[in-house]
A = this chain, B = another copy of it.
Amino acid sequence: MALGEFELIYQYFSSYGAGAAVQLGVGDDCAVLSVPEGDQLVASVDTMVEGRHFTEAAFPEDVAFRSVAAAASDLAAMGARPLGMTLALTVPDADELWLHAFSEGVGRAVTAFDLPLVGGDTTRGALTISVQVFGAVPAGQALLRSGAGPGDRLCVSGFLGDAAAGLALEQGTSTFELSDIEYLSQRFYRPTPRLTLGQSLLGTATACIDISDGLLADVVHLAQASGVAVSIESSRVPLSPALRRLQNSEQALRWALTGGDDYELCFTLPSAAALPPHCTVIGKIEAGEGVDCDLALGAPPGFDHFA
């Protein structure tokens, strides 16, 4: 492309690279990071594509922030401390205004999550954002999906369904109280990866996953990985005041159970462990397999039971 990848990266992102673990950031063939002694490296990658994960109408700041938040949420789900990230950015053209706004969103996420940008690659093509995150966790202590056992409680952080409501708002398919619009839009575009909560669960939670595909789908992943059955009481699933104000309470619950993109944590706790603040017990783990949910609404096919 006319504007070389190096110039692009340096120009817009070079100020986001400082961090305790960063020995060498953007500008060489690789970044160099220190993983603290006794820690293991955890790593993940998350991609967002225009037209699938966001629309052309989305603000570049929001697209950037949400892309980084979604990737950082995978660190939270492992109980990891952020070390740094790289960004593979494919853009249709070197639009300076867009890149400036996008880099503002990256910068806000870098600061909010203490996740320095240590490298990247810029190519021309359909708008695609891939964020690779690195974190550290004490050796052998990472929170996995596979440790849940019978008798554990199933818990979630925060409120569920807000992001799906925010998306419906964005798409104009639902209407909301004027006073809730800003909140729901932010919950979709500016999710909060639960990094502090994840780290606090180390040594306590038996399993953990972040809610990106939707509560039921992600609980299926957890149940399969752990080889257990999970039952969810839908009436205990935490809804925000904004969703509780909705006339269509069935829709609100459906968003909470099946809408994705909340980036809250879903984890299992042994019966003796204290529930962290802002978390809710929504079900229990039993011997067996499958996920059962007593939907108090006309269940759409496929949503009431996952084998």
Chain A interface (Cβ < 8 Å from any Cβ of B): 6, 23-24, 27-35, 37, 40-53, 73-75, 77-78, 80, 84, 86-88, 90, 118-121, 123-126, 128, 130, 132-135, 137, 139, 142, 144-146, 208-210, 221, 225
Contacts and interface: CB of A to CB of B under 8 A. Distances in A.
A124 to B, nearest CB: 6
B24 A144 contact: yes
A28 B225 contact: yes
25 contacts: A23-B40, A24-B142, A29-B44, A29-B209, A30-B42, A30-B43, A30-B74, A30-B77, A30-B80, A30-B133, A32-B42, A33-B42, A34-B40, A34-B139, A43-B134, A45-B120, A45-B130, A47-B123, A50-B125, A51-B125, A53-B123, A86-B132, A88-B88, A88-B130, A128-B128
Contacts of A48: 123
Contact of A30 (B51, B75, B118): B75
Contacts of A124: 49, 52
Given A28-B78, A142-B24, A132 B43 contact: yes
A90 B49 contact: yes
A112 to B, nearest CB: 19
A119 B45 contact: yes
Contacts of A27: 145, 225
Contacts of A40: 23, 32-35
B41 A41 contact: yes
B123 A78 contact: no
Contacts of A43: 30-31, 33, 84, 86, 118-119, 132, 134
Contacts of A33: 40-43
Contact of A52 (B52, B74, B125, B208): B125
A141 to B, nearest CB: 10
A123 B80 CA distance: 25
Contacts of A73: 29
Contact of A32 (B45, B53, B78): B78
A6 B86 contact: no
A132 B135 contact: no
B35 A121 contact: no
A210 B30 CA distance: 11
Contact of A47 (B80, B88, B137): B88
